[in-house]
Every structure is written in C-alpha cells, then in structure tokens.
A and B are shown apart, each in its own frame.
Chain A
Amino acid sequence: MVNFNIYIEEKENYVVLKTDGYINNLGGRAIADKVEEYTEKGFKHFVINFEKSEILNSIGACILIEVLDGLLELKGKLKFSNCIAIIAQTMEIMGITKFVEIYETQAMAEEAMQADIKKS
C-alpha cells in the first residue's frame, strides 16, 4: 500500500492543497476528490503545493489534466508550487505547463493567485 495524504488550507477565495506522497492513480484521484469537494462548496481557484511529493506518474498527471479541464470549465484558476525538477519536467513534457503556472514557493503561487482573482 502506498501512502498518500492531502493537507488543506482554506483561504478566503481559494484553497491550497498540499500533497504528501506518490501521485499515482490513487493520489491523483484523492486530489480530484478534494477539488470536487471544494468546488461543491463554491470554490473555483486552487493552489497545489507538491513539496512533499517526489514522484508524479503519468496516470496521476492525467487526473491533474482532468482537474484542470473541470476548473477551466468553471473559469477557475489552478497554480502549482514547490515541484521538484522531475515533476516540473513531466508537466512540461505533457504540456500541462501551457495551462498552469508553476511557482517556486507556495507564497509566490498564492500572491499570483490573489493578483489574478483581484483582476478578474
């Protein structure tokens, strides 16, 4: 059994998800379920902090595409932070970075998110 956890920080206009563990089908699904839970509560903007995840496989990344697809339909925003090099590289190969900005730190992602929300 592979361990995976998500920690949530609920902000005024957006939600921060902090992943911990291997993002495979189960980890990806856990992220998607959490995003769905919060979109049902009325949130549509999310920051995902990958600091404690060392591996994102293609199945987990496909579920992130599914999450992104759903948020784009809601006109929501998604930002990533704290990705180790191989995770950022995987997202680049898959083209996810054309639609989601990756920030070095959670604080930088949150600052950009707040600016985007203010503009919209």
Chain B
Amino acid sequence: MTSEQSETKEINLVLPVKSGMELIAAKLTDKLGKIKGFDQKTIDEIKLATIEACLNAFEHGVSDEKSIKVDFFCSQEKIDVTVQDSGKGFDPKLVASPEIAEKFKSDYKRGWGIKIITELMDKVDFASDSKGTKVTMTKFK
C-alpha cells in the first residue's frame, strides 16, 4: 500500500449551479477512488450517486449563492461524499418512490435521483431544513 492510499483525504469543492458542473465532482470521485484502490464498478456507482446528488442540489437548492458544496472524505475503507445546498429544504419522507409504470401515464417522468442514490450507495443520510439540504453518502470498499 502506498502512503497516498493509506492517508485519509478531505477535499472540498464549491460548484457553480450550471449544467455540466456535476462532471467535475464525478471526475474527482473517479480520481480519488482509483488512488484509494476501489474497483471501477464501485467508483462508477459513487460517481453516479454524486452526479445525482449534485443535480438535485442544482434543481431544488436554488438560492442567492448560486453554488453548492461537495466534500469528499476518503480513507482506505470507505468514501464519504456530502453535497450541500442552500435551498428551501425538503422532507425526504414525503418523497414517493417512483415506479416506471406510473411514469408512462404521467407527463412528469422525473423524480428518480433519490432512488438511484440510495440503491447505489451503502448508506445515505439527508439533513434538511429551511436553510438547505445536506446529503451524506457512504460507500465501503
């Protein structure tokens, strides 16, 4: 194991709310996952969960700040990614799990982000109030 692999890393990003910016967080996830020796399948799962969390923050976390925070905490055993916005917040318990059969009948086909995140990651926690939402996602090696 190299010293780069064994040390715990913390990286903080501030992303402008702009289409495509989520790919910067995804590229960083890829790089960190490789440094820490995660397999590509696991890295891809963390990447997509990070993208989805960023997209949710871009869409629902609109505030005067026009930016979101993405923090990575990486160790040899796990990667934690937190995505934080300054929006109005929401109650995750009130978000219905989408079903494709219902989406066919509906004009609104969106609403899959939380389902994808929770399926891809090992642990997901939402902390939300009127000042914003923080999603903490954990993936173990």
| A residues with CB within 8 A of B | 1-2, 22, 24-26, 55, 57-59, 61-63, 65-66, 68-69, 72, 84-86, 89-90, 93-96, 98-99
Contacts and interface: CB of A to CB of B under 8 A. Distances in A.
A interface SS class: helix
A93 B115 contact: yes
Interface in B86-114: 98-101, 103-104, 109-110, 112-113
Contact of A58 (B26, B47, B110): B110
B interface SS class: helix
B48 A57 contact: yes
Nearest to A2: B20
Given A62-B110, A65-B109, A57 B51 contact: yes
Q: How many residues of B sit at the interface, in one of the four size bands?
A: 20 to 34
B44 A85 contact: yes
A72 B110 CA distance: 19
